[in-house]
Structure 1
């Protein structure tokens, strides 16, 4: 992934490049990344289900990944168990 340049929130462009930062604030950073066909299909499925833009999906994904890593660090484990109503699911992130 490579950082190309930083944009202000009012920069003209497609809708995905102008999503306001809902976090701390400030300007947006445009990046270029290469995704596998499998990852792009997943992004498209998520967008269809949620109505979120690709930018929103990728921003949320990075923040969720960070949260998972923090949980794993606290537990000193390589798996995370998610408890659902009817079962538990183990997630391996490494």
Structure 2
């Protein structure tokens, strides 16, 4: 399989690899698994919320 990434996605992939130390292949595999879980939750009426260390919460919306 070949994936053609737009520049923004390519930068995000590079950043994720830098943060995790995983290979690009492993990072893409993990990202797709996470995306599927998040999309399923949202499709069932759920929300994706990030709770910051300060206690603040942020709802993530997928467009």
Into which bin does the TM-score normalised by the smaller protein fall? 0.7 to 0.9
Aligned residue for 1:34, secondary structure, equals: coil
Match in the other structure for 1:38: 8
1:84 aligns with 2:52: yes
Inter-partner Cα distance in structure 2 for 1:50 and 1:81: 21
Q: Which runs of 5+ in 1 are unaligned?
A: 1-30
Aligned residues: 62
Aligned residue for 1:32, secondary structure, equals: coil
Q: Which has the higher helix share?
A: 2
1:93 aligns with 2:33: no
Match in the other structure for 1:53: 23
More RCO (CA 8 Å, sep 6+)? 1
Where in structure 1 do 4 or more consecutive aligned residues deviate above 6 Å?
none
Larger Rg: 1
Q: Which has the higher strand share?
A: 1
Give the alignment's TM-score, normalised by structure 2: 0.81
